[in-house]
Structure 1
Amino acid sequence: MHWFSIIGIGIAANLDNLGIGLSFGARSTRVPLISNFVIAILSMIASYTSIALGDVISQYIPGEITNWGGGAFLVIIGLFAIKADLKNSSNQHRQNGITSLLHSPNKADRDGDKVISWRESLTLGIALALNCAVGGFGAGMTGLSPVMTTISIGIFSLLTIHIGVRAGQQLARTWLGKWFNRIGGIFIVLIGLYEVFV
C-alpha cells in the first residue's frame, strides 16, 4: 500500500481548508467542532465516491496503464490548480456560486455572527468536497485504497481547519497564507509523478 500517496493526498486535498481556516482565524471567526465535522464528512463522501469510481474503472484497464494514467491525471489536476491560483492572484475578478467561497470564505458566515454554524458549514463543505472529488478520481485509478485514502482526507480535513483557525491571526497576513492553493497543486503533481514512476 502506498502510504506516502495516501497521506499526501489527504494533505494536498485539504490545503484549501488550511487557507480557509487561516482566513477565519484572521477575522476572529470560530468554526465549532460540529461544523468542522460536517465539512470533513462531506469531503469524505465526495472523496470516497470519486476514488471508488476511479478504482472500478481501473479494474477494466491493464495495471500498468491505470497506474500511469491515474498518476498523469493527478499531475494534470495539480497543474490546473497551480494555473487557476496564478490566474486568481493576477486577476481578482468577482466570482459567484459555491466555488467563490474558496476565495472569499467570509461569505460563508451569512449572519455575520463570527461563528460558522453547522448550517453555514454545509455550503462551504460542498465547495471543499468538490475540490476533493477531482483529485480522488485520479487517486482511485492509481489503485490507492478508497477506504484508507478517504479516512486520510477526513482526518486532515479536521486538522487543517482547526490548525488554520488557531494560527490565523499570526499567519494569514503573511506571504505564506497566499500560497496554500499553489502548494496544494505542486503537491498533487509530485504525488502523480510518484505514482507514475514508482
Structure 2
Amino acid sequence: MRKHPQLARIQDKLEDLGAGRLADMDAAGIDMQVLSHTVPGAEALPAAQAVDVVRQTNDDLAEVIAAHPHRFAGFAALPMRDPQAAATELQRTVGTLGFCGAMINGLIDGRFLDHPDFAPLLSTAADLSVPLYLHPSFSAAAGGTDLLRRTAADSGRSAGHRRLGSVESPHRTAT
C-alpha cells in the first residue's frame, strides 16, 4: 500500500495490530480497543465486489482479535450498497465471529442510514442488540464518493480495503 508522506507514521500505527499497539494501549491505560476497517470503506466498491471483500476483511479481523481476545474486539465492515447483504454479514460477524457491532462510513450512494433501503440492517442490529458506529466521512456534496473511489483505486483495491484500524472503546476496565 502506498503511504502518504506526511501520514506514514499514523499509517504505521494503524497497521500495527501486535506488540506496538498493545504497548501503546498499556502506556495510555487502555485495556480494550474495538478494531475496525479504515477508510475508504466498502461503500466505495460495487455491491457485488464489496460482499466478498468485507467477508474476507472481517475474517482477517477475527484472526487478529483471536490472538488477543481480552484486548481487542471488532466492528464489522459491511457491504452497505447491498443492505440485505449488509444485514446478513452483520448477523454472521456478531453470531459467528463474536463482533460487537459494525462501523459505517458516512453516506451510502448519497443516502443516509435512515433511508428505507437500510431497514433490514437496522432491524438486524436491533435484534442483535449491537451498535452501528457511524463514522464521519466525506459528504456527497463535497465530492466524497469520487474521492473515496479515487483513493481506493490508488491504494490497490483488495489490499486497501483489507487494512484494519481501530476505534478506542469508551468503556475501560479498572486497572
TM-score with structure 2 setting the length: 0.29
From the two aligned structures, give the one with the greater helix fraction.
Answer: 1
TM-score with structure 1 setting the length: 0.27
